[in-house]
Chains A and B, each alone.
Chain A
């Protein structure tokens, strides 16, 4: 029996796809399944196609796969776009009222997809309709489970003497989830409990939802056979949380003492700031309540300026943004660099250039993060590979900023931002807070903010500190921070700032720079959220007794050249996996190690990688059948 299953729900944006998926994820996680869900959506408020693919398993999982085992669709577009992802033995629950829908009647289908779909149906000799596409699925061995969603509502309306229910099409998502759970043979109690907790503030809404859920659940169990899936084979691990991408860094920021976050709204970054603001008052052990002041600014230029202003007062300050916003921050980033101001910019990358694919995934900004801003100044670019990791890394980024007195760019991405996973409850005890040379009292007078020291890092005063007065300027300056154009002073100050790269590489623990997941003749190099699908792909290969190595590079600037070199010394084939077009890590490799990458596995469709497609590419590479650049395409 199958113990690893992907469930997909789709529908128009605004129709409750996300809340449906949240209920499903919560129920499955509550039973004890490991959950990995990801959301895909258009840059649109209402009407365009969005979907949520939730993978559940009895084992630890880190990614999505290509296969869908159970799909629930209450609109035509979902069927048209995803029916071919459902595998043999899988099932499609769909609204039977849609059967006659023709391709041309679904106005949100874009012409490019439509023409591919029509060609496909033509080749299969099917009519251009839902019926046609469903027939192709059936021929592949997919079970079709037609349900009239409207009829369910009318029957329930009759039974409960509540005629209003009849037209409540916004209940379609709950119907879909409940039918799914019935077909999977999972208990209904967690479903009802989770609806109750989601609508805890609206008891009436909760009641109606529960009625609908119950009815649909019983309908499914009475009418349909269970699909090939083994339910209840898991036991719940203690201390498991179900967490969304933006929550990892947000909670990390609360714990490590970030108390000021100015930001400008941008997808997919703003969720983090909104979550911080929703939890702005903080419980503090043995002290009065603290708070995170979150300010929505007029633009990203203001966000970074305010953040720097906050940091100058000694406050741990941060902002979060995505590519277009980060582009606007470039000038002020240099100001933070020359003035040695510790700040953390959380950058959730999306597909560029320009507005690009505004709601889609990408890892296009690695080289930009390293080079943004004119002139030469020290910074740290650090990337996390998963939600759980991002919680702990957030604290590290703030420590790096304080210890080395540099701006830190913490790279995350849309894949992480809109994923939901189960993981071990975050442990704040594992977080340390190191403010570096931040002063509480001035001992040595006169105070010089940029005093030359043996390690190049000067004791740091803050606005308001007695006897700690300093000056800052974007101009080159002397030790006090006053403008100086003296050529010798220039050399001293440039050397002071840029000598920091060595210090950073020497002081950041090696295991925080690069994580090695085993070595083999073939070794993957990668950074960021590709980690999850890579780990799962490597696991798939292990089952075939094939070993592929993997190093995840977290510290991307300054580049840990010597350490990476030593790790890879016996590796014969290097495979670079990245969600961009040019293989930016490969470029860094060439630049720093003088070594060419042998293969690239790249994806730039704006959709995250699945473990299946990485596995397939690795097999090709291992079988010497791959091209130098393997380009991945999966996902609607």
Chain B
């Protein structure tokens, strides 16, 4: 029986601020799950701490609201133990690129088959608007006592450099496009990263919905708006690594990195980089544990009538004197 979009919603009251960009992301995740018709018990949303951390409570799948900065660790543990699950990790930019930056890099190296979505708004909303790692140097959002003294992290660039094999960016007010990106990310064989630009209406008075829409750079006389956001796929950009050759991989990597530096009046969205030639973690495990995927940790039988069935006699024989 096909599930409806409403089946993926919970009745939990959503306490995000009116106009918050997070709503679009939750809707897009629910739409993606519904469109892919993923049974609800086969999916798990892991989340970090902060406004975005509440995401897992709004979606009717398994929902694991973890610790600040640690969402990837919990999610990867579940994904390794039960690779049949569709695992989506979600968290803020401070969560994933500040306190959790070490896990971000390490996750890229592993390339476990799952999806990581960062809600990127440049501020720590739930603690009243401090600068997040993606806020630019010298910018002063409204609750900062003085302009930001740190250079910003480039999430797309960091993901590409860390070994993520699917790297994309969405915009929370283009829900359909975002939904398509989430579907592509879930379908990707390996670790997917989605950087979602998500205006915080309460604390980020620089990168607002209007700012992304380009109202400040609109040519009044022409009576048209020039949205800052554009789609890479509309420009003929090809993010895919097609064959296993150093030159091909390097070209696609550097092209993604150069694109990730675009900001200001033109902000690219869409898929920056996709590489299915690099083996996912499960395949690497299968090199040493051939039946890992058919008999992963969560599926293994360990006892019969309360007694262990693991036979360690060979190991004990080797210790026998």
A residues apposed to B, CB below 8 Å:
26, 29-30, 236, 239-243, 247, 251, 254-257, 259-260, 262, 279-293, 295, 297-299, 301-317, 331-332, 335, 395, 422, 425-426, 428-429, 431-435, 462-475, 481-483
A293 x B81 contact (CB < 8 A): yes
A291 x B302 contact (CB < 8 A): no
CB contact between A240 and one of B44, B70, B312, B321 (< 8 Å): that residue: B321
Q: Which of B266-292 contact A (CB under 8 A)?
A: 285, 288-289, 291-292
A463 x B62 contact (CB < 8 A): yes
B295 x A257 contact (CB < 8 A): no
25 A–B contacts, CB within 8 A, in A order:
A29-B321, A251-B316, A254-B310, A259-B302, A279-B315, A283-B310, A283-B311, A287-B309, A293-B80, A293-B289, A293-B296, A295-B80, A297-B106, A299-B102, A302-B106, A305-B66, A312-B78, A313-B297, A426-B316, A428-B312, A433-B306, A463-B78, A472-B64, A472-B65, A472-B66
CB contact between B300 and one of A290, A312, A469 (< 8 Å): that residue: A290
CB contact between B82 and one of A313, A422, A432 (< 8 Å): that residue: A313
Alpha-carbon separation in the docked complex, A317 to B300 (Å):
12
In the bound complex, residues from chain B placing their C-beta under 8 Å from that of A303 are 73
Which 10 residue pairs across A and B have the least CB separation, nearest first? A309-B77, A305-B73, A257-B302, A306-B77, A298-B106, A473-B65, A259-B297, A433-B303, A309-B78, A310-B81
Q: Is the interface of A mostly helix, strand, loop or mixed?
A: mixed
A332 x B67 contact (CB < 8 A): yes
Stretch at the interface among B49-57, B226-234, B248-256: B49-57
B311 x A332 contact (CB < 8 A): no
With A251-B312, A304-B73 already in contact, 11 other A-B pairs whose C-beta atoms are closer than 8 Å: A254-B310, A284-B301, A284-B310, A290-B295, A297-B106, A299-B102, A306-B76, A314-B298, A463-B85, A468-B41, A475-B65
B81 x A315 contact (CB < 8 A): yes
In the bound complex, residues from chain B placing their C-beta under 8 Å from that of A262 are 77
Alpha-carbon separation in the docked complex, A260 to B79 (Å):
12
Alpha-carbon separation in the docked complex, A281 to B106 (Å):
25
Number of A-B pairs, beta carbon distance below 8 Å: 245
A310 x B64 contact (CB < 8 A): no
B310 x A242 contact (CB < 8 A): no
Alpha-carbon separation in the docked complex, A470 to B62 (Å):
5
Given A293-B81, A426-B316, A433-B308; A474-B49 close (CB under 8 Å):
yes
Given A335-B66, A464-B85, A482-B12; A428-B310 close (CB under 8 Å):
yes
A290 x B302 contact (CB < 8 A): yes
Given A259-B297, A288-B295; A280-B82 close (CB under 8 Å):
no
Say yes or no: is B319 at the interface (Cβ < 8 Å to chain A): yes
- B32-47, CB under 8 A of A: which get 1 and which 0? 0000000111101010
Closest to B80 in A: A293
A313 x B298 contact (CB < 8 A): yes
Say yes or no: is B238 at the interface (Cβ < 8 Å to chain A): no
Alpha-carbon separation in the docked complex, A298 to B54 (Å):
26
Q: How many residues of chain B have a CB within 8 Å of chain A? A: 67
Say yes or no: is B140 at the interface (Cβ < 8 Å to chain A): no
Alpha-carbon separation in the docked complex, A595 to B1 (Å):
66
Say yes or no: is B237 at the interface (Cβ < 8 Å to chain A): no
Closest to A237 in B: B321
In the bound complex, residues from chain B placing their C-beta under 8 Å from that of A281 are 288-289
A290 x B310 contact (CB < 8 A): yes
**Min CB distance, B66 to chain A, in Å?**
7
Alpha-carbon separation in the docked complex, A180 to B82 (Å):
53
A255 x B310 contact (CB < 8 A): yes
In the bound complex, residues from chain A placing their C-beta under 8 Å from that of B201 are none
A309 x B321 contact (CB < 8 A): no
Say yes or no: is B84 at the interface (Cβ < 8 Å to chain A): yes
In the bound complex, residues from chain A placing their C-beta under 8 Å from that of B65 are 471-475, 483
| Listed residue (A236, A254, A298) with the most chain B CB atoms within 10 angstroms of its CB | A298
Say yes or no: is B61 at the interface (Cβ < 8 Å to chain A): yes
| Listed residue (A293, A299, A429) with the most chain B CB atoms within 10 angstroms of its CB | A293
Say yes or no: is B307 at the interface (Cβ < 8 Å to chain A): yes
A260 x B81 contact (CB < 8 A): yes
**Min CB distance, A345 to chain B, in Å?**
14
In the bound complex, residues from chain A placing their C-beta under 8 Å from that of B106 are 297-298, 302
Given A239-B320, A473-B57; A260-B77 close (CB under 8 Å):
yes
B320 x A425 contact (CB < 8 A): yes
A291 x B292 contact (CB < 8 A): yes
Alpha-carbon separation in the docked complex, A316 to B301 (Å):
11
Alpha-carbon separation in the docked complex, A84 to B63 (Å):
64
CB contact between B310 and one of A257, A425, A482 (< 8 Å): that residue: A257
Alpha-carbon separation in the docked complex, A422 to B321 (Å):
9
**Min CB distance, B222 to chain A, in Å?**
48
In the bound complex, residues from chain B placing their C-beta under 8 Å from that of A280 are 288-289
In the bound complex, residues from chain B placing their C-beta under 8 Å from that of A304 are 73
**Min CB distance, B43 to chain A, in Å?**
9
Say yes or no: is B136 at the interface (Cβ < 8 Å to chain A): no
**Min CB distance, A403 to chain B, in Å?**
12
Alpha-carbon separation in the docked complex, A540 to B80 (Å):
52
Alpha-carbon separation in the docked complex, A106 to B167 (Å):
57
A310 x B319 contact (CB < 8 A): no
In the bound complex, residues from chain A placing their C-beta under 8 Å from that of B308 are 255-257, 395, 428, 431, 433
A469 x B314 contact (CB < 8 A): no
**Min CB distance, B95 to chain A, in Å?**
13
Say yes or no: is B60 at the interface (Cβ < 8 Å to chain A): yes
B74 x A305 contact (CB < 8 A): yes
Alpha-carbon separation in the docked complex, A306 to B298 (Å):
14
Alpha-carbon separation in the docked complex, A132 to B35 (Å):
85
In the bound complex, residues from chain B placing their C-beta under 8 Å from that of A466 are 39, 41
A315 x B315 contact (CB < 8 A): no
**Min CB distance, B79 to chain A, in Å?**
8
Say yes or no: is B177 at the interface (Cβ < 8 Å to chain A): no
Say yes or no: is B75 at the interface (Cβ < 8 Å to chain A): yes
In the bound complex, residues from chain A placing their C-beta under 8 Å from that of B319 are 241-243, 247, 425
| Listed residue (B56, B73, B85, B294) with the most chain A CB atoms within 10 angstroms of its CB | B73
B316 x A289 contact (CB < 8 A): no
CB contact between B73 and one of A29, A285, A306, A474 (< 8 Å): that residue: A306
**Min CB distance, B151 to chain A, in Å?**
23
B80 x A310 contact (CB < 8 A): yes
**Min CB distance, A268 to chain B, in Å?**
19
**Min CB distance, A443 to chain B, in Å?**
15
Say yes or no: is B103 at the interface (Cβ < 8 Å to chain A): yes
In the bound complex, residues from chain A placing their C-beta under 8 Å from that of B85 are 313, 463-464
B306 x A298 contact (CB < 8 A): no
Closest to B301 in A: A287
**Min CB distance, B232 to chain A, in Å?**
31
**Min CB distance, B221 to chain A, in Å?**
51
A464 x B73 contact (CB < 8 A): no
**Min CB distance, B112 to chain A, in Å?**
10
In the bound complex, residues from chain A placing their C-beta under 8 Å from that of B39 are 466
Closest to B281 in A: A295
Given A305-B74, A433-B307, A463-B44; A315-B312 close (CB under 8 Å):
no
| Listed residue (A242, A284, A422) with the most chain B CB atoms within 10 angstroms of its CB | A284
| Listed residue (A289, A312, A395, A426) with the most chain B CB atoms within 10 angstroms of its CB | A312
B41 x A465 contact (CB < 8 A): yes
